[in-house]
């Protein structure tokens, strides 16, 4: 398929998903709301409840997908995703501490982002001692995730059931707390970060060939990997702080788009960004309507879809190119 045509089709699909999902919910609303401003109740539901949530799903979906595409290339690991580097573990620990310890009862996004930044600094210090090698980044991320997960379980074991429930619902991936104020905070770093990743697409292509070949092509492997690590970590921190752990988006979407557009990062990032936004918007709409008026964490929906997707790949013996 022509790559430019694919991008245009994904843009149209994204617009269509936004419009359709705005009209779907426990309260039935006619699509005439787009041309009418007379219905105050419809205006409240559409523009102050559903729209910010859909925009949040779009931002988080595109951010996680872009990071997944980059990390799979620079780490040369088809199972790499935004949560591989341990940033999400630090964010989860930050949320848990912020909710359970009354003396530092911060808002969820703030405590999650602080935890993500601390994790970023720890992994940065460890990886810098090993010249930001692929193995040091992966190993440091895995170890830090394990430590943070163990600390979260420790806190759970000594906490009240009500506190555990609120933390668990957030960590499973939840977009119900998204509002315009939170969108203003996370949109700029996510969008700027994605633009930076796109600008480095050629350097990323070189890194995916290995450090020695990248150096022969004039790319400083250490510096580029260092920069990309910081940018992807900040994007991931923003995503986790706003919506918790939304799994499989940054792992599955780049896999699918790589099989369609190929491994070169230019079009791969753009197509992953657009399809990731569409995917999370649809998943969140499904999560908030399937058992309405209650709702499921969106991370549950993405986890089920992602798990079934990769089981299907294994059973059919399909090899996804990297």
Predicted confidence (pLDDT) at residue 4 exceeds the cutoff of 90: no
Of 193-202, 268-277, 291-300, the range with the lowest mean pLDDT is 291-300
Predicted confidence (pLDDT) at residue 209 exceeds the cutoff of 60: yes
- Per DSSP, the chain holds a count of helices (H) and strands (E) of 14, 0
Which tokens in the block code for residue 91?
A: 């964010």
Give exposure, 84-112, as e/b (b: 16+ Cβ within 10 Å): bbbbbbbbbbbbbbbbbeeeeebebbebb
pLDDT band at 39 (very low <50, low <70, confident <90, very high): low
Which range has the top average pLDDT, 88-92, 108-112, 150-154? Answer: 150-154
DSSP one-letter string for 139-165:
HHHHHHHHHHHHHHHHHHHTS-HHHHH
pLDDT band at 22 (very low <50, low <70, confident <90, very high): confident
What does the pLDDT read at residue 197?
A: 94
Of 60-64, 116-120, 162-166, 297-301, the range with the lowest mean pLDDT is 162-166
- CA dist 58 and 259 (Å) reads 22
pLDDT digits (tens, 9 = 90+) for 228-269: 989 998 899 889 888 888 989 999 999 999 989 988 888 999
Right CATH for 50-316 from 1.10.3470.10, 3.20.20.300, 3.40.50.300, 3.40.462.40: 1.10.3470.10
Residues 106/223, Cβ–Cβ less than 8 Å:
no
pLDDT digits (tens, 9 = 90+) for 123-151: 989 888 887 888 888 888 889 989 998 99
Rounded average pLDDT over 207-233: 86
What does the pLDDT read at residue 283?
A: 96
What does the pLDDT read at residue 31?
A: 56
What does the pLDDT read at residue 104?
A: 47
Domain boundaries, given as residue ranges, for the chain? 50-316
- pTM score, whole prediction: 0.89
Rounded average pLDDT over 160-164: 73
What does the pLDDT read at residue 270?
A: 94
What does the pLDDT read at residue 38?
A: 54
Q: How far apart are the first and last CA of the chain?
A: 19
What does the pLDDT read at residue 282?
A: 96
Residues 155/100, Cβ–Cβ less than 8 Å:
yes
Classify 125 as helix, strand or coil: helix
105: left (phi over 0), alpha (psi -120 to 50) or beta: beta
Which tokens in the block code for residue 201?
A: 């697409």
pLDDT band at 313 (very low <50, low <70, confident <90, very high): confident
What are the two backbone dihedrals, phi and then psi, of residue 201, each rounded to the nearest 5 degrees? -60, -40
Structure-model confidence comparison of residues 294 and 25, the more confident one: 294
Nearest alpha carbon to residue 25 among 279, 298, 286: 286
Arithmetic mean of pLDDT over the chain: 85
């Amino acid at each position: 398929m022509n790559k430019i045509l694919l991008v245009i089709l994904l843009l149209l699909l994204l617009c269509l998903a936004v419009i359709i999902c705005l009209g779907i919910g426990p309260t039935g609303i006619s699509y005439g709301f787009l041309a009418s401003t007379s219905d105050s109740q419809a205006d409240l539901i559409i523009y102050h409840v559903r729209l910010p949530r859909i925009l949040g799903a779009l931002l988080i979906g595109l951010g996680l997908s872009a990071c997944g595409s980059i990390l799979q290339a620079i780490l040369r690991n088809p199972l790499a995703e935004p949560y591989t580097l341990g940033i999400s573990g630090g964010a989860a620990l930050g949320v848990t501490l912020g909710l359970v310890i009354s003396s530092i009862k911060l808002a969820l996004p703030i405590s999650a982002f602080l935890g993500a930044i601390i994790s970023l600094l720890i992994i940065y210090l460890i990886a810098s001692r090993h010249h930001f090698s692929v193995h040091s980044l992966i190993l440091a991320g895995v170890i830090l995730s394990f430590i943070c997960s163990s600390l979260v379980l420790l806190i759970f074991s000594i906490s009240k059931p009500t506190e555990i429930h609120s933390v668990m619902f957030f960590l499973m991936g939840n977009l119900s707390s998204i509002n315009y104020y939170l969108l203003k905070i996370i949109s700029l770093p996510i969008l700027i970060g994605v633009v930076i990743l796109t600008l480095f697409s050629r350097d990323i292509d070189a890194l995916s060939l290995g450090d020695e070949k990248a150096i022969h092509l004039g790319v400083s492997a250490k510096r580029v990997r260092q920069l990309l690590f910081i940018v992807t970590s900040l994007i991931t921190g923003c995503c986790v702080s706003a919506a918790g752990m939304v799994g499989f988006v940054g792992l599955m979407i780049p896999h699918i788009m790589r099989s369609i557009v190929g491994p070169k990062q230019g079009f791969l990032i753009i197509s992953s960004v657009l399809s990731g936004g569409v995917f999370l918007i649809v998943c969140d709409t499904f999560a908030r309507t399937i058992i309405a008026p209650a709702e499921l964490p969106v991370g549950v929906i993405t986890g089920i879809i992602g798990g079934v997707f990769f089981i299907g790949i294994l059973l059919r013996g399909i090899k996804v190119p990297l």
